[in-house]
């Protein structure tokens, strides 16, 4: 399973990339706004840190303008993935860009039928938002299970990028379902490393080691 980090905070991205666990980055207009940086500069800086796919979202609503925005974003770096919303114009843009070999991430997916459309439009990634479904009393992971099954049935190459991940249990559930990618906030990625018994066990080992008075180097 690939891990993407869902942030536009460059310091967080650099810090986590150093762990070797970051396979890509997703941004969205809200995260970009929060960063306070110029969007094109921000994407260029992220692409220089992470060689994997970096999602940059178009902000137009119509196909023609989406294509123009995508042309600008694509020029920033080879690993830019154009993010388009799951709308008729977004999918039209997805089809056009994917036919010319550009990676596309279709975002704001909330149903399996929407995911089916994105796969038919040649998306590289589909982003179902599990946390936002949980927020309205639905089970986001049921959607992931449905999409994985449907993509499997037809051998679609579109990767299931589980988005709106809120906590480590989402990551575990997505991994058990065989989702290709999970994009998560930095705090969730960091939380995956932790277990109280790891900390406790390490402390006990090091306390015992200190008693020997030895050092390895």
User: Does 131 contact ligand E4P by CB under 6 A?
Assistant: yes
User: Does 93 contact ligand E4P by CB under 6 A?
Assistant: no
User: Does 127 contact ligand E4P by CB under 6 A?
Assistant: yes
Q: Is 92 one of the annotated active-site residues of the chain? A: no
69-70-73 Cα angle (round to 5): 90
Residues 6 or more apart whose CB falls under 8 angstroms from that of 29 comprise 57, 59
* Residues in binding contact with ligand E4P, number by CB under 6 A: 11
Q: What is the largest CA-CA distance in the chain?
A: 71
Which range in 9-17, 90-98, 124-132, 144-152 contacts ligand E4P by CB under 6 A?
Answer: 124-132
Select from 50, 40, 39 the least CA-distant residue to 12.
50
User: Does 107 contact ligand E4P by CB under 6 A?
Assistant: yes
User: Does 164 contact ligand E4P by CB under 6 A?
Assistant: yes
**What is the C-alpha separation between 66 and 84, in angstroms, rounded?**
8
N- to C-terminal Cα separation, the chain: 36
**What is the C-alpha separation between 13 and 9, in angstroms, rounded?**
6
Task: Please name every residue paired with 181 in a beta bridge, in sequence order, or none if there are none.
Answer: 2, 161
Choose between 127 and 158: whose C-beta lies nearer to ligand E4P.
127
Which range in 65-73, 112-120, 129-137, 195-203 contacts ligand E4P by CB under 6 A?
Answer: 129-137
Which range in 33-41, 91-99, 123-131, 193-201 contacts ligand E4P by CB under 6 A?
Answer: 123-131
The residues that touch ligand E4P, with contacts defined as CB under 6 A, are 6, 26, 28, 107, 127, 129, 131-132, 163-164, 183
């Amino acid at each position: 399973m690939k891990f993407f980090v869902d942030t536009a905070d460059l310091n967080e991205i650099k810090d986590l990339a150093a762990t070797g666990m970051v396979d890509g980055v997703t941004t969205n207009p809200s995260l970009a706004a929060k960063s306070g940086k110029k969007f094109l500069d921000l994407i260029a800086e992220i692409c220089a840190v992470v060689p994997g796919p970096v999602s940059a979202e178009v902000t137009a609503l119509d196909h023609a303008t989406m294509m123009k925005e995508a042309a600008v974003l694509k020029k920033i770096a080879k690993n830019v993935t154009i993010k388009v919303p799951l709308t008729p114009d977004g999918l039209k843009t997805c089809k056009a860009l994917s036919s010319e070999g550009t990676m596309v991430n279709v975002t704001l997916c909330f149903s399996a039928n929407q995911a089916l459309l994105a796969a038919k439009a040649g998306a590289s990634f589909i982003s179902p938002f599990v946390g936002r479904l949980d927020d309205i009393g639905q089970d986001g992971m049921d959607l992931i299970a449905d999409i994985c099954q449907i993509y499997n049935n037809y051998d679609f190459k579109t990767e299931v990028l589980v988005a709106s991940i809120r906590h480590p249990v989402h990551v575990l559930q997505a991994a058990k379902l065989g989702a290709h990618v999970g994009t998560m906030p930095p705090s969730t990625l960091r939380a995956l490393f932790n277990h109280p018994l790891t900390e406790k066990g390490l402390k006990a080992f090091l306390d015992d080691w200190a008693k020997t008075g030895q050092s390895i180097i």
